[in-house]
Structure 1
Amino acid sequence: METLCPKKIKEEIEQKRREMIFSAKETGFQSGQTISASQELDRLLNIFQEELQVLPK
């Protein structure tokens, strides 16, 4: 698993979300580009969730 600070992960999540939305508008929801961006967004969200569970409360 990658170790990134939560702020950096949030920035990457927002960038990937914008990229996915743009791709969906330009190429459609089922295009390879959109699906790839969605999968990468899922990966980043999973990393973020795991980091939240590790951080002290």
Structure 2
Amino acid sequence: MRVFVHQEGKKFYAKPVLGKSGLISTMVRASGLIKIGLNIEGLEKGSKVVVKLF
């Protein structure tokens, strides 16, 4: 999933960039990717994730 990473104080947050997967505009707004497992339907707000930055 494409995400936008921003910093608040000493913490970093990843916010999902929503839209169709093939849209170039979602890539432009995103700063990285997170991987969500095959059988997982989503993540709880505040979950820790690993972001692969562009």
Same fold (TM over 0.5): no
Please, what TM-score do these two structures have when normalized by structure 1? 0.31
More strand by share: 2
More helix by share: 1
Please, what TM-score do these two structures have when normalized by structure 2? 0.32
Larger radius of gyration: 1
**Structure of greater relative contact order (alpha carbons < 8 Å, 6+ residues apart):** 1
